[in-house]
Amino acid sequence: MTRKEPAQVREHRRELLSGLSGRVLELGAGAGANFGFYPADVTEVVAVEPEPYLRGKAVEAAASAPVRVSVVDGTADRLPVDDASVDAAIACLVLCSVADQSGALAELHRVLRPGGELRFYEHVLSHKPRVARSQRAVDRLFWSRAFGGCHTARDTPAAIADAGFAIERQRRLSVGPRFNPAATHVLGAARRA
């Protein structure tokens, strides 16, 4: 899907990763769509991907990344890195589909060093009541089953705050056609206390 994603999404990926440095963990790296956007100050990306086909594609993408990328098998509820061992963590279009969002956020909190940054770019529950109702309806009826466990109606920023992160900035975006239940996105950063 990333080959056909709008230019707008690529710009959001670039913004998400801008200014990062040190060791970074990327949760649910997929086929490695973010790898080309990591800045030179990043010393290593630990790219966690549980799905074997996508992990293979990520390994291929890592070979041409501008920074060192280690692609590893792992799941959101059991990240294969030590406590407080990364400077930043990336959640990019993944927290909608993890089975246990609060468990995944607890793991991200665990692996980040104190003061470390969680960057997130996710599609989320709309603030518009009519749109939010339709998101909840499509999630109940078919969306999650049709799109790999994805939920369009999650309030991910609230879940991030509930997991012990201090949200420093976030902005809501509309991406793609208005009638798409996954059109409401949020791009932001939070800090581990």
How far lies 72's CA from each of 40, 67, 69, in Å?
21, 16, 10
Predicted pLDDT of residue 124: 96
Beta bridge partners of 116: none
Domain boundaries, the chain: 2-192
How distant, in Å, are the alpha carbons of 42, 68, 73, 74, 87 from that of 23?
6, 10, 18, 17, 5
For the chain, the C-alpha Rg in angstroms (whole number) is 16
CATH 3.40.50.300 fits 2-192, yes or no: no
Q: State residue 14's pLDDT score.
A: 97
As a whole number of angstroms, the distance between CA 174 and CA 184 comes to 5
42-48 β-sheet, strand order = 69-72, 42-48, 22-27, 86-92, 112-123, 184-192, 165-174
Which pLDDT value is given to residue 7?
87
In angstroms, the CA 37 to CA 17 distance is: 7
Q: What is the mean pLDDT of the chain?
A: 95
**In this predicted structure, what is the pLDDT of residue 130?**
93
Q: What parts of the chain have a pLDDT lower than 50?
A: 1
pTM of the model: 0.94
**Residue 3: its pLDDT value, please?**
58
d(CA 136, CA 124): 11
The beta-strand segments (E) located in 28-85 are 42-48, 69-72
Q: What is the model's pLDDT at position 22?
A: 98
Q: What is the pLDDT of residue 1?
A: 47
Residue 2: per-residue pLDDT:
52
- Three-class SS state of 12: helix
